[in-house]
Amino acid sequence: MARATATALDQQQVPGKPLAPVKRLPPSTPRSTPRVVVRVAQGSAWQSRALNRLLPWLLPTALLGLWYLGSERGWLSDQVLPPPAFVYQTLVDLASTGDLWLNASASMQRVLVGFLIGSGLGVTLGLVMGLSKTVEDYLLPSFNALVQIPVLGWMPFALLLFGIGEPLKYVLIAHAALVPVTLCTLQAFHQVPKRLLEVGQAYGFSRRQIVTDIVLPSAVAPIFTGLRLGFTKAWLSLVVVELLASSEGLGYLIAYGRQLFQLDLVMAAVVVVGAVGLLIDRSFEYVERRLNKGRAVIPGRLA
Amino acid sequence: MSTLTSSAAPSTRRYRGWVLPVVAVAVWWLATNQGWSDSGLLVSPQKVAATAWHQFTSEAFWRAISSSLARNLSGFFIGTALGLVLGCLLGFSRLFERVVGPSFNTFKQISLFAWIPLISVWFGLGDVAKVVFLSLAALVPVVVNTCDGLRNVPPAFLEVAKVYGFTRWQTIRGVMLPAALPSIFTGVYLALVYSWLATIGAEYLLVSGSGIGNTLIDGSEHFMMDLVLFGMVVIGLVGWSLNLLARSLERRMQRLYGITPR
C-alpha cells in the first residue's frame, strides 16, 4: 500500500521544480481544540438516535416474525422447526424443574477446571519458553508439531486412554485452552518493545530487573488476550466433548434432544450455550479493554 | 536484548528441536518391547508403522481421505465466498453494519458444534449437511477479519485519497481493499484451519459415509490404538499441509499487491 501511494505521489509532482526543503515547525504547545457544538433541530437528533438504537433489533425481530409466521401457517412441520412459543415453554420448563441449573453447573464446572489447568500450564510453558531461548529451542518444535493435531483429533485417543469419565473432559478442555494461551504468552515475550529493553540496558538493569520491570508488565495484556482466546476454545470444545460423550451438561441436553427428535429442547439448549458464551466473552473483553488502555500509555510517554 | 537471546550457534539450535521427539519415540519403543506394561492400548511403534503401511496401500484409506478433503475444500470455498461478500457489506456500509452487525456478533458466540443437531435435522446426515456446517465454520472468521480490515484502514490513506479527488469506487479499489488485504488473508487463513477442524468434527457427529474422522472413530470403537494413532498423524499432516499452502499463497498475493508482510 505504501508503495502504491508513493508512486501516485511521484506522478503528481511537477517535473523540473525541486521541492523546497521542509522547514521544521517551531514546537507548539498543544491547544485544546474548541468544542464545536452543532445545533441540530432537537426532534431530528432524537429521532436519529432512536433509529440507531432500533436498527440492530430489525433483523432478529424479522427472523423471529418469519419463524412465528412459518410455524403458524404450517410451512414447516413442528418436527423440523418447532414454533418459538414452544421453545420458550421448554426453556421455562427446564429452568423451573432445575434441570437447566443441574446441566449448566456441570458444564461450568468442567469448563472452569479444564480452563484453569490448561491456562495455568499454558502460561507456565509460555513463560519458561519466553524467558529461556534454550528451552524454547528444545520444546517449541515438538509443541508446534503436536498443535497441528486439533482437539478433535486427540479425542479418540483420549477416549481410549481415559474412558468416558470426567478426566476425559478435563484433559480435552485443558488441551483446547493450553494451545492459544501458550502461543500468546510466548508471543508476548517476543513482542516486548525494543525501545523499552534498550532503556533498561542503558540504565544498567540486571536480568531479573529487566524481566520483572519491563518484560512482564508489557506482556500482561497479550497474555490476557491469550486467556480470552483460550476460554473461547475451551467453551467450544466443551460442547463438542459433551455432545460426543457425557451423561449431563448443556452439550448432553443438545445430544439428548437430537436423539429424541425434540428440536425444542435442542434449540433451548443452544440458546443457553450461546448466552453463557456471550456473557463470558463480554466480561473478558471488558477486562481486556481496561488492560489495553493502561498499556497504550507506555509508548506514548517514551516518545 | 542479549539477555533474551541464546548464545548457541544456529546449527546447534536446529538439532535441539529433535531431542524431545527422538527421546519420546525411544522411550515408547523401549516400553513396548521390554514389556513394561501389558495393556492392550500400548501398541508398539512397529505396529503403528505396519498399520500405516497397510492403510497407505489400501484403497479405502485414500477414498476416506479424498472424500474428507473434497468436503473440506467445497465447504471452505462456499464459506469464504459468502464471508467475503458479507464482510465487505459490513465493512463498507454503516447502515448494513448497524442492522446486521449485532446479530452476527451474537451468532458467532454460539459454539459452532451446537448447530450440528439442528443441521442434521434440517439437512440430514449426508454430504449436504457436512458442507453446510463447514461453510458456516469458514464463514465466521472471514466475515470478522474482512470487516475489521476495511474498518481499520488508516485514516491518513483515506485523506490522501480525498485530497486527490478519488471517486468512491477508486478509493475502494485503490486504497481500502489493498490496505485491508492482510487482514482479509488472515481471515481466509483462519477459515482454512477452522474448516479442517470442522471436517473432523462433522465426521464424528454426522456419522455416515467415509472420511478420515470416521476411520478414527472406528479405530476408537474397536480399541485399535494403532489405527487411532495413525489417524491422528494423518489429520495433523493434512492440517499442516493446508497451513503451508495458505501461507505460500498469502505471500504470493502480498508480493503481487506490493504489500510488505507484517
**A residues 270..299 contacting B (CB < 8 A):** 270, 273-274, 277-278, 281
Question: Nearest-CA neighbor of B120 among B41, B203, B240, B177?
Answer: B203
Q: Does A148 touch chain B (CB under 8 A)?
A: yes
One-letter amino acid of B150 = L
Of the candidates B242, B72, B193, the residue with the CA atom closest to the CA atom of residue A150: B193
- Asked whether the beta carbons of B232 and B246 are under 8 A apart, the reply is no
> Cell 451468532 maps to which residue?
B107
Give pLDDT, residue A178.
92
d(CA B149, CA B185): 10
How distant is the Cα of A56 from the closest Cα of chain B, in angstroms?
Answer: 5
Across chain B, mean pLDDT equals 83
Average pLDDT, chain A: 78
Instruction: Output the 3-class SS for chain B.
Output: CHHHCCCCCHHHHHHHHHHHHHHHHHHHHHHHHCCCCCCCCCCCHHHHHHHHHHHHHCHHHHHHHHHHHHHHHHHHHHHHHHHHHHHHHHHHCHHHHHHHHHHHHHHHHCCHHHHHHHHHHHHCCCHHHHHHHHHHHHHHHHHHHHHHHHHCCCHHHHHHHHHCCCCHHHHHHHHHHHHHHHHHHHHHHHHHHHHHHHHHHHHHHCCCCCCHHHHHHHHHHCCCHHHHHHHHHHHHHHHHHHHHHHHHHHHHHHHHCCCCCC
Calculate the alpha carbon distances from A12 to A8, A272, B167 in Å: 6, 59, 17
- Higher-confidence residue of A249 and A293: namely A249
* Beta carbons of B103 and A59 less than 8 Å apart: yes
Residues of chain B contacting residue A277, judged by C-beta atoms under 8 Å apart: 109-111
The secondary structure of A113-171 as a DSSP string is HHHHHHHHHHHHHHHHHHH-HHHHHHHHHHHHHHHTS-HHHHHHHHHHHHTTSHHHHHH
Give residues with Cβ within 8 angstroms of A293, minimum separation 6. Answer: none
Spatial distance between the Cα atoms of A248 and A242, rounded to a whole number of angstroms:
8
Number of other residues whose CB lies within 10 A of the CB of residue B154? 11
Q: Which residue of A has its CA nearest to B6?
A: A133
* Yes or no, beta carbons of A55 and B95 under 8 Å apart: yes
C-alpha cell at position A277:
458464551
Q: pLDDT for A126-141, tens place per residue? A: 988 888 888 888 888 8
Closest partner residue to A152 (CB to CB) among B24, B106, B201 is B201
Mean pLDDT (whole number) for B59-75: 88
pLDDT above 80 for A299: no
Which residues does chain B have within 8 Å of residue A269's beta carbon, measured at their own beta carbons? Answer: 114
C-alpha distance from B57 to closest chain A C-alpha (Å): 22
Please compute the mean of the pLDDT values over residues B56-74 and round it to a whole number. Answer: 87
Number of Cβ within a 10 Å radius of residue B153? 20
Q: What pLDDT, on the 0 to 100 scale, is given for residue B82?
A: 95
The answer to whether residue A4 scores a pLDDT higher than 50 is no
For residue A60, list chain B residues with Cβ-Cβ distance below 8 A.
103
**Nearest residue in A to B112, CA atom:** A236
Do the Cβ atoms of A278 and B8 come within 8 Å? no
Q: How far apart are CA A119 and CA A117, in angstroms?
A: 6
Which tens digits make up the pLDDT trace of B22-40? 888 888 888 877 777 667 6
By the 10 Å C-beta count (0-12 exposed, 13-18 middle, 19+ buried), A25 is classed as exposed
Instruction: Identify the pLDDT of residue B258.
Output: 64
Q: How much is the pLDDT for A267?
A: 86
- Global model pTM greater than 0.80: no
Is the minimum CB–CB distance between A204 and chain B shorter than 8 Å? no
pLDDT in tens, B72-84: 999 999 999 999 9
Above 60 in pLDDT, residue A269? yes
- Least reliable range by pLDDT among A198-202, A222-226, B8-12, B210-214: B8-12
Closest CA to A236 of A185, A177, A286, A289: A177
What pLDDT was estimated at residue B186? 84
Contacts of B196 in chain A (CB under 8 A): 150
CB contact under 8 A, A277 and B20: no
pLDDT band at residue A221 under the 50/70/90 scheme:
confident
A229 touches chain B (CB under 8 A): no
Query: In chain B, which residues have their Cβ closer than 8 Å to the Cβ of A236?
Result: 111-113
- pLDDT at residue B178 tops 90: no
Task: Please name the residue of chain A whose CA is at the shortest distance from the CA of residue B194.
Answer: A150
Comparison of pLDDT for A115 and A36, the residue scoring more: A115
Residues A45, B253: Cα–Cα separation, whole Å: 45
What pLDDT is recorded for position B102? 83
Of B114, B223, B231, the CB nearest to A270: B114
Kindly report the nearest CA distance between residue B260 and chain A, in angstroms.
8
Whether residues A8 and B229 touch (CB distance < 8 A) is answered with no
pLDDT for the residue numbered B8: 60
Of A1, A142, A151, the CB nearest to B20: A142
Question: One-letter amino acid identity for A208?
Answer: R
Judged against a pLDDT cut of 80, whether residue B100 lies above it is answered with yes
- Given CB atoms, is A153 within the 8 Å cutoff of chain B? yes
The pLDDT confidence band at residue A9, using thresholds 50, 70 and 90, is very low
Between A169-178, B1-10, B65-74, the lowest mean confidence (pLDDT) is in B1-10
User: In the predicted model, is pLDDT for residue A301 greater than 50?
Assistant: no
> What is the number of CB-based contacts under 8 A between chain A and chain B?
177
Q: How far apart are CA B120 and CA B123, in angstroms?
A: 5
Q: Do B6 and A137 touch (CB under 8 A)?
A: yes
Q: What per-residue confidence (pLDDT) applies to A32?
A: 45
Please state, for a pLDDT cut of 70, what percent of chain A lies above it.
82
pLDDT above 70: percentage of residues in chain B? 92
CB within 8 Å: A156 and B231? yes
